Amino acid sequence: MSTYSWLIFALGTVLTWGLYGIFLHMGQMGMVDPVNGRYKAFLFVGVAYFLTAVLAPLILLVMRGSDWNFPAKGLWLSLFAGILGAIGAFFVLLALGAAIGAKVQNAPGVVMSIIFAGAPIVNAIVSISMAHDWGKIRWPFILGLFMAAAGGYLVTKFKPVHAAPAKPAEKVAAVSAVPRDQGPQSH
């Protein structure tokens, strides 16, 4: 793997997690059930995240007396949203592993800064494009996108650098330089 493979994996997560919320929402709408549609959509995200998202929605749908009708559009869009989320989670793991392998200091902070600064940008661009709302965009919104990107860059570029741990010999010297307690002293 190259030194920058962590960046490719982090950007892969930015893309998939940036799309996740969009497709989850579309899946919810595709269920055509204003009362239980969100739980039905979450059920199919749960296929990708089995332990956290299959059992909970099943219980909610039973408690709410769902009709158990899952229109194909809502089903497939919800499943696709779950796949995007799972791919994003997988890219996080790959990015973290690659960053650690490339000896990137504070790898989790760097990787997640890129992801959490980038995903909202992907989400905004795709949402606006899908709604054909680019003509309604004002300059502060565009400035905000650039600021989000700049923020992710700045947090990554100027992250705190941890000092290397002291070597054993330095620790011994530092401990021996400390004066011993000479009993109570009066002031």
Residue pLDDT, tens place only, 54-74: 788 888 899 999 999 999 999
Q: Which amino acid is at 143?
A: L
- pLDDT value at residue 47: 72
CB-based contact 38:123 (threshold 8 Å) = no
pLDDT tens, position by position, 36-45 = 877 787 777 7
CB-based contact 80:73 (threshold 8 Å) = no
173 belongs to a structural domain: no
The model's confidence at residue 124, banded by pLDDT at 50, 70 and 90, is very high
Q: Provide the domain limits for residue 16.
A: 5-159
164 belongs to a structural domain: no
Give the Cα separation of 31 and 73 in Å (integer): 7
15 belongs to a structural domain: yes
Q: What is the mean pLDDT of residues 152-177?
A: 70
149 belongs to a structural domain: yes
Is the per-residue pLDDT at 174 higher than 60? no
169 belongs to a structural domain: no
168 belongs to a structural domain: no
66 belongs to a structural domain: yes
Q: Between residues 126 and 22, which one has the greater pLDDT?
A: 126
On the 0-12 / 13-18 / 19+ scale of CB atoms within 10 A, 72 is: exposed
78 belongs to a structural domain: yes
How many domains is the chain partitioned into structurally?
1
Q: What is the mean pLDDT of residues 133-153?
A: 93
- pLDDT value at residue 175: 54
Q: Between residues 32 and 26, which one has the greater pLDDT?
A: 32
| Predicted TM-score of the model (pTM) | 0.62
- pLDDT value at residue 67: 92
